[in-house]
Amino acid sequence: MQIGVPKETWPGEVRCALVPANASKLIKLGFSISMESGAGAASGFSDALFTDAGVTLAPRADVIAAADLLICVRKPDAAEVSLLKSGAVTISFLDPFNEKTLVESLATQGATAISMEMVPRSTRAQKMDALSSQANLAGYVTVIQAAFHSPKIMPMMMTPSGTIRPARVFVIGAGVAGLQAIATAKRLGARVEAFDTRPVVAEQVQSLGAKFVEIDLGDTGQTDQGYAKALTPEQMAIQREGQKQVISQSDVVITTAQLFGRPAPQLIDRDMIESMQPGSVIVDMAVETGGNVEGSVLNETVEINGVKIIGQGNLPGEVARNASEMYSNNLVNLLQEFWDEEAKQLNLDPEDEIVQSCVITRDGAVVNETIKNIYSGA
């Protein structure tokens, strides 16, 4: 079975879907691998490292057309889909909620499309969970960016010249990214507070040495996958009011709130921004899905009333080497889980719960029930 690895062409994407160490593992399993030259260069992996691992270099069109299994970080474009052989398998962050035309073209082409963001959050699938592996790195990056842009240092310093108080950091959302942001800010010596609509995560926040901000929103809960549920307009108003004072006293605010498959909720309005001291920093991690912060702009740092609002997209790409390694590990774990050693092919059992969750198209049709219902308006 031949794997194809094209170079990522999405604007600003510098990650690579496969790293040399994992290429060697897959070749030992029985795969052959063809890769476009330069696919790993932006994340620090030269062509020589791949060829030493047994990978063959080929032109982009040949890599795609010959692939039984095409692995990417970002979704393929329409031109690439047209090159796929019937029956090919694609694996990527497909964004199926927002890419109906692309998904339907994959079905028409006869491709089996696996969406990495649809891998379920379960014990068995944890090692394949690329959303979490990338969010973990993104949480780290947000704090480093905030520290770079802030005119204050993070830790307390007691010197003969005087005492510098620690920076106050407020993290909104304590999922994978938020917890890593909390941990990183604490390691840098900041005073950290955090809030999440799911009271169940308070203990995790406190275990990292941060204070959990209590805001009574009534019944909120979480989905079966562990994601926060959307709040009612009344609950949103209570949250904004409850976090307003904490925001006004913070040197850094990091927002991580996203709703799976839906636009991100706006949590910080202009009044809250203007209540902060000039020189304060806000990092909007949700900017790619609509943003948590009024006025944030994708891939820009804007300033409102002296407050910097960072809207950097593709945060894992800021640490592209590690992000590529983690994503590649997730892919290899998925392939190993469904690899038939004797037949030397993938066995994507349609009755398997992981397959049911992450396979979007198969045998000429959209087969994922969640996505089918969204497309049909059900």
- Delimit the domains of the chain by residue range: 2-129+320-376, 135-313
Position 239 scores a pLDDT of 82
Res. 343 pLDDT band, cuts 50 70 90: confident
Position 215 scores a pLDDT of 83
Average pLDDT, stretch 179-194?
98
Per CATH, the homologous superfamily of domain 135-313 is NAD(P)-binding Rossmann-like Domain (3.40.50.720)
CATH architecture of the domain with range 2-129+320-376: 3-Layer(aba) Sandwich (3.40)
Tokens for 180, please give them. Answer: 């890593």
Average pLDDT, stretch 137-165?
97
The residues near 327 (Cβ < 8 Å, ≥ 6 apart) are: 15, 17, 73, 116, 130, 133, 134
pLDDT tens readout for residues 103-117: 999 999 999 999 999
Average pLDDT, stretch 142-168?
97
Res. 377 pLDDT band, cuts 50 70 90: confident
Position 156 scores a pLDDT of 96
pLDDT tens readout for residues 249-268: 999 999 999 888 788 999 99
Average pLDDT, stretch 137-164?
97
Res. 134 pLDDT band, cuts 50 70 90: very high
Position 227 scores a pLDDT of 58
Average pLDDT, stretch 294-310?
97
Position 226 scores a pLDDT of 54
How does DSSP classify residue 56? E
Query: Does the pLDDT at position 378 exceed 80?
Result: no
pLDDT tens readout for residues 206-250: 999 999 998 888 766 655 555 566 778 888 888 888 899 999 999
Burial (CB count within 10 angstroms: exposed 0-12, middle 13-18, buried 19+), residue 256: buried
Give the predicted TM-score (pTM) of the model: 0.92
Share of the chain above pLDDT 90, in %: 87
Query: Which residues participate in catalysis according to the annotation?
Result: 121, 126, 129, 132, 227
End-to-end CA distance of the chain: 38
